[in-house]
């Protein structure tokens, strides 16, 4: 295991265990949206309790998001959690095991959970089965809603605590969800050179150069099918992976480099790290045991087209990949027209049913309503 000369996280999990609540609340509801995010330095590999094996950094998205309404009504405290699940207004029992597990993990930090009946009503802005994971935005949206209830029980809570704990809870639902709470760029995981960085929650990266403001992400939907390999299994395969130590070490170094790039605006260096990280993520999958390939032939066609276009036009456009075949095309706002034209002319042909999603950098979770 790579041991970075690590400073220990300032906060421990006990920071998020509440003491007494000042208020009692009978019923109400909240509604929040939370976005997806796209990692630049990838998180791949985890330890117990959703602790990342290496630090990561992501751009927060704006349009790909989950909108969740949480209604709650006080009940006699039972032995189990009491909740109904709706997806786009219809009952969705298939979500139950995941939410049950999430509640079990977070109960210690939200001891009121068994004292309410919840109705969790969720919808995504991106198409169903687009190959875009909804776990990050979904878990982040649920976490901020639960924190709104905790804030009513304890109105003295600071905004900083609210956001940190929302990120902490979201992480326990899906690791990368902790990067979807607050900030345009979010770092998660202990990192020697990042003050206040933590394995327990994401922290906002504040020194963003204007070159990266409103950065664009056009998501090319190459394969909209279900993931062949869950990210949980993928993370597990980093245990005992022959290249794991070097990979974790590289992630620490790439995070140090990309932080100064995000600060000084150097596109060439940005592109080099982002594309290398995407290919390294997939290289880890291809060299694990069992091994697997999530890229499709059209993923590679698109990558090659992007490389040719960049060489021919000097446009600072690059790609990154998630744990799937879809390609995220990243570029600054001032080349939007030319890149969208290139996408329409040369890349759409490789997308399933010609589909792609235009997104850009966003700010994180947003409260929509309180009733």
Residues that bind ligand PMV (CB under 6 A): 39, 42-44, 56, 133, 135-136, 174-176, 231, 281, 322-323
How far apart are CB 10 and ligand PMV at their closest, in Å? 23
Q: Residue 105: which residues within 8 A CB-CB, separation 6 or more? A: 172, 173
Rg for the chain (alpha carbons), in Å?
20
Q: Which is nearer to ligand PMV, 56 or 122 (CB)?
A: 56
Buried b (16+ CB within 10 A) or exposed e, 116-137: bbbebbbbbbbeeebbbbbbbb
What does the block give as tokens for 75? 């009940």
Residue closer to ligand PMV by CB (options 149, 327) is: 327
Q: What ranges make up the beta strands (E) of the chain?
A: 27-41, 46-47, 51-52, 56-74, 82-87, 90-91, 116-124, 185-188, 202-204, 216-220, 318-321, 327-331, 356-360, 366-370
> Measured from the CB of residue 323, what is the shortest distance to ligand PMV in angstroms?
4
Distances (CA, A) of 318 to 63, 100, 187, 274, 314: 20, 39, 21, 8, 11
Smallest separation (angstroms) from ligand PMV to the CB of 75? 32
Complex with ligand PMV: residue 121 or 322, whichever CB lies closer: 322
- Residue number with CB closer to ligand PMV (261 or 323): 323
The residue among 56 and 164 lying less far from ligand PMV, judged by its C-beta, is: 56
The DSSP symbol for 64 reads E
CB of 245 to ligand PMV, least distance (A): 18
What minimum distance in Å lies between the beta carbon of 352 and ligand PMV? 20
Q: What letter would DSSP give residue 16?
A: G
Number of Cβ within 10 Å of residue 229's Cβ equals: 16
Nearer Cβ to ligand PMV, position 305 or 328? 328
Tokens describing residue 218:
């056009």
Q: How far is the CB of 7 from ligand PMV (least distance, A)?
A: 22
Distance CA 73, CA 343 (A): 49
Pairing of strands 82-87, 116-124: parallel
- The CB-of-221 to ligand PMV minimum distance in angstroms stands at 16
d(CA 327, CA 300): 9
Q: Between residues 135 and 148, which has the closer beta carbon with respect to ligand PMV? A: 135
Residue 43 or 83 with smaller CB distance to ligand PMV: 43
At its nearest, how many Å lie between ligand PMV and the CB of residue 111?
A: 26
Shortest Cβ 133–ligand PMV spacing (Å): 6
Residues 6+ apart with CB under 8 A from 238: 44, 45, 46, 53, 244, 247, 284, 288
For ligand PMV, give the closer residue by CB, 222 or 323.
323
Q: Provide the 3-class DSSP secondary structure of residue 2.
A: coil
Tokens of 320: 């990154």
> Among residues 4 and 335, whose Cβ is nearest to ligand PMV?
4
101's CB contacts (< 8 A; 6+ apart) are none
Q: Least distance to ligand PMV from the beta carbon of 345, Å? A: 29
């Amino acid at each position: 295991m790579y041991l970075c000369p690590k400073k220990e996280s300032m906060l421990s999990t006990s920071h998020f265990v509440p003491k007494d609540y000042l208020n009692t609340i009978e019923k109400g509801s909240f509604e929040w949206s939370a976005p997806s995010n796209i990692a630049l330095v990838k998180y791949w590999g985890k330890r117990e309790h959703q602790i990342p094996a290496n630090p990561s950094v992501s751009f927060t998205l704006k349009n790909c998001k989950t909108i969740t309404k949480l209604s709650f009504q006080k009940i006699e405290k039972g032995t189990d959690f009491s909740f109904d699940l709706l997806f786009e207004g219809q009952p969705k029992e298939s979500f139950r095991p995941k939410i049950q597990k999430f509640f079990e993990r977070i109960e210690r930090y939200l001891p009121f959970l068994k004292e309410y009946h919840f109705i969790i009503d969720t919808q995504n802005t991106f198409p169903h089965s687009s190959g875009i994971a909804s776990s990050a935005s979904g878990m982040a949206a649920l976490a901020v809603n639960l924190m709104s209830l905790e804030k009513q029980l304890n109105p003295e809570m600071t905004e900083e605590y609210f956001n940190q704990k929302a990120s902490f809870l979201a992480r326990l639902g899906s690791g990368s969800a902790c990067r979807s709470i607050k900030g345009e760029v979010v770092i998660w995981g202990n990192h020697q050179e990042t003050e206040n960085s933590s394995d327990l929650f994401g922290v906002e990266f504040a020194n963003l150069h204007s070159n990266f403001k409103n950065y664009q992400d056009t998501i090319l939907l190459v394969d909209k099918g279900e993931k062949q390999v869950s990210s949980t299994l993928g993370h597990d395969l980093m245990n005992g992976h022959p290249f794991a130590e070097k990979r974790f070490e590289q992630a620490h170094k790439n995070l140090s480099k990309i932080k100064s790039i995000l600060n000084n605006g150097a596109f060439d260096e940005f592109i080099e790290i982002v594309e290398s990280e995407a290919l390294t993520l997939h290289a880890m999958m291809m060299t694990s045991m069992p091994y697997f390939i999530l890229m499709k032939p059209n993923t590679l066609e698109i990558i090659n087209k992007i490389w040719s276009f960049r060489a021919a036009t000097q446009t600072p456009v690059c790609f990154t990949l998630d744990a799937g075949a879809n390609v995220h095309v990243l570029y600054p706002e001032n080349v939007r027209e030319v890149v969208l034209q290139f996408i329409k002319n040369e890349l759409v042909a490789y997308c399933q049913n010609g589909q792609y999603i235009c997104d850009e950098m966003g700010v994180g979770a947003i409260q929509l309503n309180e009733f």
